[in-house]
Amino acid sequence: MLNSPVWRGPARYAFCGGLLLGALGTAFVLLVAGSLVRLAAPPVVWRWALAGAVALLALRELGVLRFWLPQNPRLVPEYVHRHGPVFGPLQFGFEIGTSVRTYTPSALPHATALMILLLADPLAALAAGAGFGLGRALMTVGNLSFSGDNSWDDAWIAGERWIRRILVVAFAVATTAVLLR
């Protein structure tokens, strides 16, 4: 779908901009909701809850545990293009950036959402949202740059096991640093 001629030019950038805006919007909503959730218990309780949840998500990511995570595995709707070559992809990018309309192949975004909900200040939430949106945009642009062949997918499949391990270790180190501060 993204390799079709419709996704070239401004549509690609509108989609990526939508990804970023959607991720920032989600981070903001999590931050606001978290400010209410955090009233229910002292910070030490949330730190331990977060540590446990991130450990479970890391074990899921490594394939040690299997359990369902909330996500929406829908395909690209046919009406994406009805709003034109800019606003259609912008809207769809926004929806994917919020993770409302997408399948998430990794458990790590769920861990990030919990970190924003339970611990983040406004700057950290902004950075996490921007990182998520830009990361998704980078994946989109990277995939589109391979001219429609399957080399992007083939490269992912070939390195997926090691990439997942590296990402889990990096996430665990970052989470530990946040929890110990």
Rounded to 5 degrees, what are φ and ψ at 101?
A: -125, 70
Cβ(12)–Cβ(94) below 8 Å: no
Which percentage of the chain shows pLDDT scores above 70? 90
The boundaries of the domain holding residue 166 are 5-180
pLDDT tens-digit map of 6-42 = 456 788 889 899 999 999 999 999 999 999 999 999 9
Q: What is the pLDDT of residues 153-166, one digit of tens each?
A: 788 889 999 999 99
Number of domains the chain is built from: 1
Helix segments in the chain, DSSP class H: 10-37, 43-61, 84-97, 108-118, 122-144, 151-180
Q: Which DSSP letter does residue 47 get? A: H
Question: What pTM was estimated for this model as a whole?
Answer: 0.86
